[in-house]
Protein backbone atom coordinates (compact mmCIF):
# COMPACT_ATOMS: atom_id res chain seq x y z
CA UNK A 1 0.00 0.00 0.00
CA UNK A 2 3.01 2.29 0.30
CA UNK A 3 2.60 3.36 -3.36
CA UNK A 4 -0.77 4.99 -2.62
CA UNK A 5 -1.21 8.46 -1.13
CA UNK A 6 -2.87 9.14 2.22
CA UNK A 7 -6.68 9.27 2.30
CA UNK A 8 -7.05 7.71 -1.15
CA UNK A 9 -9.69 4.97 -0.82
CA UNK A 10 -13.21 4.62 0.57
CA UNK A 11 -13.09 0.83 0.94
CA UNK A 12 -10.47 -1.87 1.38
CA UNK A 13 -11.38 -5.53 1.11
CA UNK A 14 -8.65 -7.48 2.86
CA UNK A 15 -9.31 -11.20 2.40
CA UNK A 16 -7.33 -13.85 4.24
CA UNK A 17 -4.13 -12.47 2.66
CA UNK A 18 -2.54 -11.61 6.00
CA UNK A 19 -1.85 -15.32 6.18
CA UNK A 20 1.18 -14.60 3.98
CA UNK A 21 2.86 -11.84 6.00
CA UNK A 22 4.86 -12.37 9.18
CA UNK A 23 3.53 -9.24 10.93
CA UNK A 24 0.01 -8.00 10.20
CA UNK A 25 0.32 -4.75 12.18
CA UNK A 26 2.08 -2.74 9.42
CA UNK A 27 -0.73 -3.79 7.05
CA UNK A 28 -3.37 -2.38 9.43
CA UNK A 29 -1.43 0.89 9.75
CA UNK A 30 -1.15 1.21 5.97
CA UNK A 31 -4.84 0.43 5.49
CA UNK A 32 -5.67 3.19 7.97
CA UNK A 33 -3.31 5.62 6.23
CA UNK A 34 -4.71 5.13 2.71
CA UNK A 35 -8.40 5.15 3.71
CA UNK A 36 -10.43 8.36 3.71
CA UNK A 37 -12.09 9.43 6.95
CA UNK A 38 -15.13 7.18 7.37
CA UNK A 39 -13.49 4.70 4.98
CA UNK A 40 -14.23 1.05 5.61
CA UNK A 41 -12.00 -1.97 6.04
CA UNK A 42 -13.53 -5.41 5.52
CA UNK A 43 -11.05 -8.02 6.66
CA UNK A 44 -11.10 -11.77 7.01
CA UNK A 45 -8.65 -14.17 8.57
CA UNK A 46 -8.34 -17.59 10.13
CA UNK A 47 -9.00 -18.17 13.79
CA UNK A 48 -5.46 -18.59 15.21
CA UNK A 49 -6.46 -21.96 16.66
CA UNK A 50 -5.98 -23.55 13.22
CA UNK A 51 -2.22 -23.00 13.50
CA UNK A 52 -1.74 -24.70 16.87
CA UNK A 53 -2.15 -28.33 15.82
CA UNK A 54 0.47 -30.70 14.44
CA UNK A 55 -0.13 -31.24 10.70
CA UNK A 56 0.97 -34.89 10.65
CA UNK A 57 -1.64 -36.75 8.55
CA UNK A 58 -1.79 -39.59 11.09
CA UNK A 59 -3.37 -37.23 13.63
CA UNK A 60 -5.98 -36.09 11.12
CA UNK A 61 -6.87 -39.71 10.30
CA UNK A 62 -7.31 -40.41 14.02
CA UNK A 63 -9.26 -37.14 14.52
CA UNK A 64 -6.67 -36.01 17.07
CA UNK A 65 -5.69 -32.41 17.65
CA UNK A 66 -2.14 -32.40 19.00
CA UNK A 67 -1.20 -28.87 20.11
CA UNK A 68 2.33 -28.23 18.89
CA UNK A 69 2.78 -24.59 17.87
CA UNK A 70 2.41 -21.30 19.73
CA UNK A 71 1.28 -17.97 18.33
CA UNK A 72 2.57 -16.25 16.39
CA UNK A 73 3.02 -19.18 14.01
CA UNK A 74 5.65 -19.16 11.28
CA UNK A 75 6.06 -21.91 8.73
CA UNK A 76 9.65 -20.78 8.33
CA UNK A 77 10.26 -21.75 11.95
CA UNK A 78 8.06 -24.88 11.89
CA UNK A 79 9.32 -26.51 8.68
CA UNK A 80 12.55 -28.40 8.16
CA UNK A 81 15.19 -26.92 5.87
CA UNK A 82 14.23 -29.52 3.26
CA UNK A 83 10.56 -28.50 3.41
CA UNK A 84 11.51 -24.82 3.16
CA UNK A 85 13.69 -25.51 0.13
CA UNK A 86 10.88 -27.48 -1.54
CA UNK A 87 8.37 -24.64 -0.99
CA UNK A 88 10.86 -22.15 -2.42
CA UNK A 89 11.55 -24.41 -5.38
CA UNK A 90 7.80 -24.71 -6.05
CA UNK A 91 7.38 -20.93 -5.55
CA UNK A 92 4.87 -21.52 -2.77
CA UNK A 93 4.15 -18.83 -0.18
CA UNK A 94 5.02 -19.33 3.46
CA UNK A 95 2.16 -19.23 5.96
CA UNK A 96 1.99 -17.22 9.17
CA UNK A 97 -0.57 -17.31 11.97
CA UNK A 98 -1.29 -14.26 14.10
CA UNK A 99 -2.74 -13.72 17.54
CA UNK A 100 -6.17 -12.18 18.00
CA UNK A 101 -4.34 -9.29 19.66
CA UNK A 102 -2.65 -8.57 16.32
CA UNK A 103 -5.59 -9.50 14.08
CA UNK A 104 -8.29 -7.56 15.92
CA UNK A 105 -6.43 -5.46 18.47
CA UNK A 106 -4.00 -4.37 15.75
CA UNK A 107 -6.85 -2.77 13.83
CA UNK A 108 -7.91 -0.82 16.91
CA UNK A 109 -4.31 0.17 17.65
CA UNK A 110 -3.96 1.43 14.05
CA UNK A 111 -6.90 3.78 14.71
CA UNK A 112 -9.90 1.83 13.44
CA UNK A 113 -13.22 1.54 15.23
CA UNK A 114 -14.64 -1.96 15.01
CA UNK A 115 -18.22 -1.84 13.76
CA UNK A 116 -18.78 -5.54 13.19
CA UNK A 117 -17.43 -9.02 13.79
CA UNK A 118 -18.45 -12.30 12.18
CA UNK A 119 -17.30 -15.91 12.36
CA UNK A 120 -18.15 -18.75 10.02
CA UNK A 121 -17.53 -22.44 9.51
CA UNK A 122 -14.97 -23.75 7.05
CA UNK A 123 -17.08 -25.09 4.13
CA UNK A 124 -14.37 -27.62 3.22
CA UNK A 125 -12.75 -28.65 6.51
CA UNK A 126 -9.03 -29.24 6.17
CA UNK A 127 -8.13 -29.60 9.83
CA UNK A 128 -9.77 -31.55 12.65
CA UNK A 129 -10.48 -28.30 14.53
CA UNK A 130 -12.62 -27.07 11.60
CA UNK A 131 -15.31 -29.55 12.71
CA UNK A 132 -15.59 -28.08 16.21
CA UNK A 133 -15.72 -24.30 15.87
CA UNK A 134 -15.95 -21.62 13.20
CA UNK A 135 -12.43 -20.99 11.94
CA UNK A 136 -13.15 -18.10 9.57
CA UNK A 137 -13.26 -14.68 11.21
CA UNK A 138 -14.15 -11.32 9.71
CA UNK A 139 -14.16 -7.74 10.91
CA UNK A 140 -15.76 -4.55 9.67
CA UNK A 141 -13.75 -1.51 10.75
CA UNK A 142 -14.17 2.21 10.10
CA UNK A 143 -11.55 4.92 10.01
CA UNK A 144 -13.12 7.57 12.21
CA UNK A 145 -10.39 10.21 12.06
Report d(CA 105, CA 4) in Å as an integer.
24
Residue 1 is predicted with a pLDDT of 84
pLDDT at 129: 95
Residue length, the chain?
145
Q: Which residues of the chain have a pLDDT value below 50?
A: none
Our CA dihedral for 133, 139, 16, 101, rounded to 10 degrees, sits at: -80
Q: Parallel, antiparallel, or unpaired for β 73-74 and 96-97?
A: antiparallel
For 24-53, give one letter per residue: b (16+ CB within 10 A) or e.
Answer: bbebbbebbbbbeeebbbebbbbbbbbbbb
- 54-92 tens-digit pLDDT: 888 899 899 999 999 999 999 999 999 999 999 999 999
Q: Which positions ≥6 away from 124 have C-beta within 8 Å? A: none
Amino acid sequence: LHVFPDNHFDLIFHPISNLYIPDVNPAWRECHRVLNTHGRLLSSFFNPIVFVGDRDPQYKEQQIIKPTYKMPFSEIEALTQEQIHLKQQNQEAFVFGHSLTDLIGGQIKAGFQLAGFYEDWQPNPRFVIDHYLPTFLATFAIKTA
